[in-house]
Amino acid sequence: MNQQELSQEIEFYTSKLAVLLNHLQAPEEVKQAWATLLPEMTIEQISQLLDILEARYLDEQTRPLDEALQQEVSQLIQKFADKK
């Protein structure tokens, strides 16, 4: 990986981290604590943090869909049980 590719990758992950921290439903102190710790973290730790934040963000974004689907499945199960 050359210097330009490395710079682009760092810029991408920095932007991604900023977006995920911004959307994180947590107290501002928690977000600030993560931002303060970043310079002390290894690349592996930052990567793990990004994975966790992304999973949490996706969970938050899909929760209403998951609940609607669960309700629909429950209704279908009930209809099936009523027909039996």
* Entry pTM: 0.68
Q: How far apart are CA 12 and CA 20, in angstroms?
A: 12
Eight-state DSSP code of residue 42: -
16-55: pLDDT as tens digits: 988 998 888 889 998 889 889 988 988 888 889 999 999 9
Q: How far apart are CA 10 and CA 13, in angstroms?
A: 5
So where are the chain's domains?
A: 3-83
31-40: pLDDT as tens digits: 889 889 988 9
Contacts of 53 (CB under 8 A, 6+ apart): 17, 20, 21, 24
